[in-house]
Amino acid sequence: MASMQNHFCDICVESHVVAVVWCPDCEEFLCPECSKHHSRAKISRDHTTITVADYKKLPPFFLSIRYSCSDHNEKFEFYCPFHKHPCCVKCVNETHVDCRNLVPLHDAIKGAKTENGLLQIDQELRSVQKSLNDIYENCSSNLQKLEKQKKTSCDEIVNIRHVINQRLDKLEGALQEELEEKYVAAKTKTGTLLSDIMNQRGTVNGVIRDLEIIKKVATGFQIFMIVSEIENTITERVQYLEELHEAGSLDELNLQLNVDPALMSFMKNAFSFGTISYHHNPISLDILSLQGEHAETIVRPSNTIDKIKLIPKQRIQLPKSENVTGITGCEILNDGQLLFVDFDNKRLLSADSQSKSNELMKLSSSPRDIAIVDKNTVAITLRDDQTVVLIDVKANKIVKTFDVTSPCYGIDRVEDKLVVRLNHIGQFLVLNLKGKILSRLHISGYYIQDVALFDGKIFCTNCEDHHVYCYDMNGDLLWKYADENLRKPFGIGEDSHGNIYVAGRETNNVLLISPDGHRRKSC
């Protein structure tokens, strides 16, 4: 009779044939015979199966991973970096219409099971494990030291007691009680911390054991789906250690006897035998600092600048005007439509894939830059009006106007926010899509005018000192880049991999810079 732990073939349902393998892609158990057909069938020959024995070794949370959309019952085809979730084709059309940088799922999970894919998360787990081990050892040593310090203090109290008269008996007893109270408090505090650390260490050790099994038997998709769970474990433990460290809970406790200086010479006037206190000795501890999203490291497909080759795709003849056409910003909509802002002629232009161009609408002031808000809406900075306008490009009308109280230049959108450059006052303005000012980042530089955003970073150009700068969202400089092949940089943009494209006005070229600012490629 089959064991209750047996899994039966999902194809031979009525025959109750015991399964020997599990196919994650099909989400089915297969018996030996069905497994043979499965490996030969064109639709499933590339599927990777695992034995039932290995399947049982997987952590419980792996068993809940779905390979298809629960809302539409269709296979996942894309990954949304913004929502950090896979989605099917219907999801893309219904709930991810305005999401940028959607990645094909097969590209997103390419590196999930590779050594490099798990290297960072494995290192960080082990870093947390090491911190917990170090704290455990320090707490254990602290308890032993407290015992010795207590004994030393007790001995000193007894020695002092021998040279004073009987009238100080009560003071001695009070001091002994204080010593015991402080010792118990210190021991309880350290013991509680030690117990918590043991629990946290046990949790991390368990995740590491699971990770070792995962690396051996789990599929790339399973690893891809569970990374966020492991990230949460790391983040929670790192935050826990940081909170303990900042609160001083990890400080070493020491008992110390403080004898009243007047005790020996002014015994009759002494009001106490002494006091017991403990002081904190901060320990040296390097707690892991998480730098951004781990899932992004694993799922963002690599596209280094070495693999990128820019070639001319089309040449566009823009509509004629009274003044020389001065393009200061451009965007590409999802349907392939190209949009340009013409600063000198105060107008918004468009061009299609056939290079046919036309004037969409006239503007009240010179437009400086443009950013996509959603599939039908763009945001444009009007420098002299000191406003940002949202324009419905299908209806060719302004739907919202935001006053920014200063001449505005570069603009870009990140999630549901707009970042606008006010270079006259040295600020980046962060607004929501209703025009409410959320924050101001003070980054000086009159000639910093154009901006691009990616992965929580601000990239901008300075046409005066010929530099490209990268800041975090707190306004702290991360890196800067200069190159003799890039003079008078103005326009700047980014791709879905974080590569930066900069247009040099004086050098008449486009320079491609890696996300870390270390490498470049002339296009």
pLDDT digits (tens, 9 = 90+) for 375-389: 889 999 999 999 999
Grouping H, G, I as helix, E, B as strand and the rest as coil, residue 204 is helix
Q: In the structure, what pLDDT confidence band is assigned to residue 2 with cuts at 50, 70 and 90? A: very low
Q: What phi and psi, each to the nearest 5 degrees, are found at residue 44?
A: -125, 5
- With a pLDDT cut of 90, the percent of the chain lying above it is 27
Residue where the block lists tokens 């013991």: 191
Question: Is the model's pLDDT at 293 over the cut of 70?
Answer: no
User: What does the block give as tokens for 26?
Assistant: 């099909």
- 3-state SS, one letter per residue, for 458-485: EEEEECCCCEEEEEECCCCEEEEEECCC
Q: In the structure, what pLDDT confidence band is assigned to residue 295 with cuts at 50, 70 and 90? A: very low
Grouping H, G, I as helix, E, B as strand and the rest as coil, residue 332 is strand
Q: Where are the domains of the chain?
A: 21-115, 327-519
| pLDDT value of position 1 | 32
Mean pLDDT of 446-451: 89
pLDDT digits (tens, 9 = 90+) for 103-156: 888 777 766 655 555 677 777 788 888 888 888 988 898 899 899 988 988 888
Q: Mark residue 505 as left, alpha or beta (left: phi above 0; alpha: psi -120 to 50; beta: remaining).
A: alpha
Give yes or no for a contact between 211 and 231, defined as CB atoms under 8 angstroms apart. Answer: no
pLDDT digits (tens, 9 = 90+) for 356-373: 788 899 999 999 999 999
User: What does the block give as tokens for 445?
Assistant: 């530089």
pLDDT digits (tens, 9 = 90+) for 434-443: 999 998 988 8
Q: What is the mean pLDDT of the chain?
A: 83
Question: Which DSSP symbol is given to 307?
Answer: G
Pick the CATH number of 327-519 from 2.60.120.620, 2.120.10.30, 3.30.70.1290, 3.40.50.1370: 2.120.10.30
- Low-confidence winner among 1-5, 73-77, 258-262 (lowest mean pLDDT): 1-5
Q: Distance between CA atoms of 363 and 295, rounded to whole angstroms?
A: 43
| Topology annotation, domain 21-115 | Double Stranded RNA Binding Domain (3.30.160)
Q: Distance between CA atoms of 48 and 39, rounded to whole angstroms?
A: 9
Question: Is the model's pLDDT at 331 over the cut of 80?
Answer: yes
Question: Is the model's pLDDT at 508 over the cut of 70?
Answer: yes
pLDDT digits (tens, 9 = 90+) for 182-210: 899 889 988 888 998 899 888 889 888 88
DSSP string, 126-150: HHHHHHHHHHHHHHHHHHHHHHHHH
Q: Do domains 21-115 and 327-519 have the same CATH topology?
A: no
User: pTM of the predicted model, to two decimals?
Assistant: 0.49
Element (H, E) at 181: helix 169-217
Mean pLDDT of 47-60: 86
